Amino acid sequence: MGEILITKVRSLYGEIKGLHSGLPKQVSGPYCIPSIIGERFNTALDLLTQVSNTDYSRFKIPSNELSRAENCNIRVIEPLMSTIITKLENEYGFGSVKKDNSANIVIINKNTNEVSVNVDYTIEDLIQQSNGQATDQLTQLKNELNKDDKNWETIKGCLLWILNFSKDLFFKILPLLLGQKIS
């Protein structure tokens, strides 16, 4: 089961559990609660059905109970809420504490993509195509990259200048830099 699905189901479980925890615990005689609680419960069940692709409609509060003068009988609502809470706890392990010391198994699916860019020019080609200040910055960058002991502040300064000067030129240089083994 996907982590997103579990998160969505857990969220709806929490909502239902919250509605249930707001119900009075000890009731003598007929006791009614606002029907908005029943409507929210039914809405949470509709979303739960949609998210989990499992039909939970049998746990819904009947419409005739919701239409009774803005109040619902707690003796109808409480067992439905308790039952769905217990069902979700059993199906998804919500609300339970693991008592065994067995190791958890985590499966991580890591996708990697490789992008290949064919570059058929060099920094020297870019220097010959450019003029003025761009030529100076490209030459300085090329010379610094060819050194064994590179000054990264100089390289950074050249790249920032080129980026500010021309984004197109910067994006032409970027694959050249990525293709080099720079130490």
Q: Is residue 34 part of a domain?
A: yes
Q: Is residue 116 part of a domain?
A: no
Give first-to-last CA distance, the chain, whole Å: 44
Q: How many domains is the chain partitioned into structurally?
A: 2
Per the structure block, which two tokens stand in for 154? 């100089």
Q: Which of 41, 69, 92 is the endpoint of a domain?
A: 92
Residue 164: predicted pLDDT: 92
Residue 97: predicted pLDDT: 54
Pick the closest to residue 21 from 98, 96, 77, 101 (CA basis). 77
- On whether both 25 and 73 belong to a single domain, the answer is yes
- On whether both 9 and 86 belong to a single domain, the answer is yes
**DSSP per-residue string spanning 32-78:** EEEHHHHHHHHHHHHHHHHHHT---GGGSPPHHHHTSTTEEEHHHHH
SS3 105: coil
Q: Is residue 104 part of a domain?
A: no
SS3 165: helix
Q: Which of 43, 70, 92 is the endpoint of a domain?
A: 92
Check the CA dihedral 68-74-79-84 and report its sign: positive
139 secondary structure, DSSP code: H
Which run of H or of E encompasses 179? helix 167-179
- Sequential pLDDT tens for the chain (183 residues): 578 888 888 889 888 988 888 887 766 656 677 778 888 889 999 999 998 888 998 988 888 777 765 566 777 788 888 999 999 888 888 876 555 556 667 677 777 777 666 667 788 888 888 877 789 889 998 898 888 888 989 989 989 999 999 888 898 888 888 776 555
Q: How many CA atoms lie within 13 A of 35 on its CB side?
A: 12
- On whether both 74 and 7 belong to a single domain, the answer is yes
Q: Is residue 118 part of a domain?
A: no
Q: Is residue 156 part of a domain?
A: yes
- On whether both 127 and 88 belong to a single domain, the answer is no
CB 81 within 8 A of CB 23: yes
Strands (E), 92-167: none
Find the domain containing 146 and state its range.
123-179
Q: Is residue 32 part of a domain?
A: yes
- On whether both 8 and 85 belong to a single domain, the answer is yes
**DSSP per-residue string spanning 124-158:** HHHHHH--THHHHHHHHHHHHHHSSS--HHHHHHH
- Alpha-carbon span 157 to 172, nearest angstrom: 17
